[in-house]
Amino acid sequence: MSFQVNPIKFGTDGWRGVIAADFTFERVAKLAPICAEVLREYNPNSNLMIVGFDRRFMAEDFGLIVAQALQESGFDVLLSESFAPTPAFSWAAKINNALGALVLTASHNPAKYLGLKVKGGFGGSVSEDVTAKIESRLNLDIAISEKKGNLVLFDPWESYCNQLRSLVNIDLIKGAIESGKLKIIADVMHGAASTGLSRLLNCDIQEINADRDPLFGDGAPEPLPRYIADLFRKIKEISKSHPDSLRIGLVFDGDCDRIASVDSQGNFCSTQILIPILIEHLATRRKLQGEIVKTVSGSDLIPKIAQLFNVPLFETPIGYKYIAERMLTHQVLVGGEESGGVGYSSHIPERDALLSALYVLEAVVESGKDITELYTNLQQQVNFNSGYDRIDITLANLDHKNQLQQKLETTPLKQIAGKKVVDCLAIDGYKYRLEDESWLLIRFSGTEPLLRLYSEAPHLKIVQENLAWAKEWAS
């Protein structure tokens, strides 16, 4: 019996593969020193690497293999003594003047995957230039070091939590919880966010799906409505028992760098809703400065909110590394993507779900308003209402994907769902603006036969029409 082993190829934020098929001890042990060697070219004054992991199957075992491989190659290593959020390891890389961090995680992907995220010493995702260099050296022999490096265990939580506490009014949030004004339920999706809010707020926060389950309840640790039925139910129960309180559900992906929320009535709130709320809160209540960075899949409400508060706007391709690159040269108030990643120049150039959660809680408590009320007020101020949705379609094979890509390049779309195309932006996939003020984004995965479809329109019915048309077009 034979099976295909996929090549090591970095996507928008690291490499991931099927455990025991693509992702093996041998491959990871070879890859880790290559990553460190490349990172040393950008920071020759350090010899230290951070190694961390989430709660996936055997993640700590792979973490130890990575740490030992680095040590054998002469690098000094700080190896995490426990699971922690990916941004905690990015923070550790920055404050320890490390070459960078290698994090064993497959983020929001299904249970059969594990992966390796490469973080730079500045505290964020490395650029495509860095990952391209890593890929180019995979077939080269690694020089054996005459001297072993040092390997030391460290606590990834303490410094990270102290940093986040310094950015938010923790006492305000904690006081609202202790008085009964604020009720929080955190769905940690069996992942690395577990214990995070309790540590930060120094009080008990109700968590669901808090046990370590490598199968993620037969789902995936991704903050999407189809995976959080338990959270919807719990929030509705609290709404009945505590109708006068502010109620909020927070949901974190597997390595705690993506976030979504559920409002007091049990409605799902993606970062398309949270980002405008965060912009308002940081620009007005916290009076912070900087530009807004959004990806091409971000809501059209975001530019309107930026204009409302007289904040500059910059647009990037999809992938948080593009936002991180912008953060390295510009002050960024909020940088966010529709898939749940949000970050801030006040912290590190990295998406951080726990910091986003704290800012959302602070906004809710200071305003005394539910998430949806905050969002609706902003919509009214700029006179903008919309519906949004996204679907992913698995294509038959890579040939089908390539055929569709060529079709878009050689035969530009003039009409979509019976509506005229008035503009096309092609910085990442193809984003078509239509005559009815809706848009459709057609984008392909860089590593899989996968088609991603996004749409926003004045009404959700139009969104569904656009997505149905695109699905039919791709078949």
> The domain spanning residue 24 has which CATH number?
3.40.120.10
Residue 176 shares a structural domain with residue 238: yes
Q: Is residue 1 part of a domain?
A: no
Percent of the chain scoring above 70 in pLDDT: 99
**Closest CA relative to residue 343, chosen from 211, 164, 467:** 164
Residue, of 2 and 409, whose pLDDT is higher: 409
Q: Is residue 2 part of a domain?
A: no
Distances (CA, A) of 293 to 103, 339, 455: 25, 14, 19
pLDDT at 57 over 80: yes
Q: Is residue 337 part of a domain?
A: yes
Q: Is residue 6 part of a domain?
A: no
pLDDT at 333 over 70: yes
pLDDT at 11: 82
pLDDT at 2 over 60: no
Residue that terminates a domain, selected from 334, 362, 382: 382
Residue 304 shares a structural domain with residue 348: yes
pLDDT at 448 over 90: no
Q: What is the mean pLDDT of residues 202-215?
A: 96
Residue 138 shares a structural domain with residue 251: no
pLDDT at 167: 98
Q: What is the mean pLDDT of residues 413-433?
A: 95
Q: What is the mean pLDDT of residues 283-291?
A: 96
Residue 43 shares a structural domain with residue 100: yes
Mean residue pLDDT of the chain comes to 94
**Closest CA relative to residue 257, chosen from 85, 425, 420:** 85
Length of the chain: 475
pLDDT confidence tier of residue 446, bands split at 50, 70 and 90:
low
Q: What is the mean pLDDT of residues 107-121?
A: 95
pLDDT at 472 over 90: yes
Number of Cα atoms under 13 Å in the Cβ half of residue 281: 27
Residue, of 188 and 1, whose pLDDT is higher: 188
pLDDT at 469 over 90: yes
Q: Quote the CA–CA distance of 332 and 249 in Å, as a whole number.
A: 27
CB 298 within 8 A of CB 316: no
Q: Quote the CA–CA distance of 127 and 347 in Å, as a whole number.
A: 19
Q: Quote the CA–CA distance of 322 and 23 in Å, as a whole number.
A: 26
**Closest CA relative to residue 190, chosen from 234, 254, 261:** 254
Q: What is the mean pLDDT of residues 51-80?
A: 97
Cross-strand partners of 182:
246
Cross-strand partners of 451:
393, 444
CB 115 within 8 A of CB 23: yes
Q: Quote the CA–CA distance of 157 and 430 in Å, as a whole number.
A: 41
Residue that terminates a domain, selected from 347, 366, 382: 382
> What residue ranges in 205-319 does DSSP mark as E strands?
206-208, 246-252, 259-262, 268-269, 291-295, 313-316
3 state DSSP class of 239: helix
Q: Is residue 350 part of a domain?
A: yes
CB 234 within 8 A of CB 247: no
Q: What is the CATH number of the domain that holds 429?
A: 3.30.310.50
pLDDT at 208: 97
Q: What is the mean pLDDT of residues 403-414?
A: 90
CB 286 within 8 A of CB 355: no
What helix, strand, coil percent values describe the chain, rounded to 5? 35, 25, 40
Residue 357 shares a structural domain with residue 405: no
Distances (CA, A) of 107 to 337, 456, 472: 15, 26, 30
pLDDT at 144: 74
Number of domains forming the structure of the chain: 3
Phi, psi of 472 (to 5 degrees): -65, -40
Residue 213 shares a structural domain with residue 263: yes
pLDDT at 146: 83
Residue 398 shares a structural domain with residue 437: yes
CB 379 within 8 A of CB 385: yes
pLDDT at 445: 78
Distances (CA, A) of 362 to 141, 172, 291: 51, 7, 21
Residue, of 58 and 5, whose pLDDT is higher: 58
Q: Quote the CA–CA distance of 289 and 429 in Å, as a whole number.
A: 31
pLDDT at 397: 86
Q: 79: exposed, middle or buried (C-beta count within 10 Å: 0-12, 13-18, 19+)?
A: buried
Q: What is the mean pLDDT of residues 342-350?
A: 96
Q: Is residue 8 part of a domain?
A: no
Q: Is residue 9 part of a domain?
A: no
Residue 263 shares a structural domain with residue 327: yes
CB 336 within 8 A of CB 323: yes
Residue that terminates a domain, selected from 382, 403, 436: 382
Number of Cα atoms under 13 Å in the Cβ half of residue 382: 20
Q: Quote the CA–CA distance of 104 and 429 in Å, as a whole number.
A: 29
3 state DSSP class of 421: strand
Identity of residue 249: G
**Closest CA relative to residue 341, chosen from 389, 272, 290, 280:** 272
3 state DSSP class of 362: helix
Residue 317 shares a structural domain with residue 356: yes
Q: Is residue 122 part of a domain?
A: yes
pLDDT at 140: 84
Q: Quote the CA–CA distance of 266 and 232 in Å, as a whole number.
A: 5
Percent of the chain scoring above 90 in pLDDT: 87
pLDDT at 1 over 80: no
Least confident of 9-18, 48-57, 145-154, 233-242: 9-18
pLDDT confidence tier of residue 366, bands split at 50, 70 and 90:
very high
The contacts of residue 185 (CB under 8 Å, 6+ apart) are: 206, 207, 208, 231, 234, 235, 238, 248, 249, 250
Domain extent at residue 450: 387-474
Query: Is the CA virtual torsion 360, 363, 367, 372 positive or negative?
Result: negative
- How confident is the model over 247-261, as pLDDT tens digits? 999 999 999 999 999
pLDDT at 216: 96
Residue 139 shares a structural domain with residue 284: no
For the question of whether the overall pTM of this predicted structure is more than 0.85, the answer is yes
Identity of residue 48: L
Name the strands in the sheet holding 259-262, side by side, starting at the edge strand that comes first in the sequence: 206-208, 182-187, 246-252, 259-262, 268-269
pLDDT confidence tier of residue 61, bands split at 50, 70 and 90:
very high
Name the strands in the sheet holding 313-316, side by side, starting at the edge strand that comes first in the sequence: 313-316, 291-295, 332-336, 342-343
pLDDT at 145 over 90: no
pLDDT confidence tier of residue 447, bands split at 50, 70 and 90:
low
pLDDT at 142 over 80: no
pLDDT at 5: 85
Distances (CA, A) of 119 to 127, 298, 350: 9, 24, 9
Residue 330 shares a structural domain with residue 190: yes
Residue 201 shares a structural domain with residue 179: yes
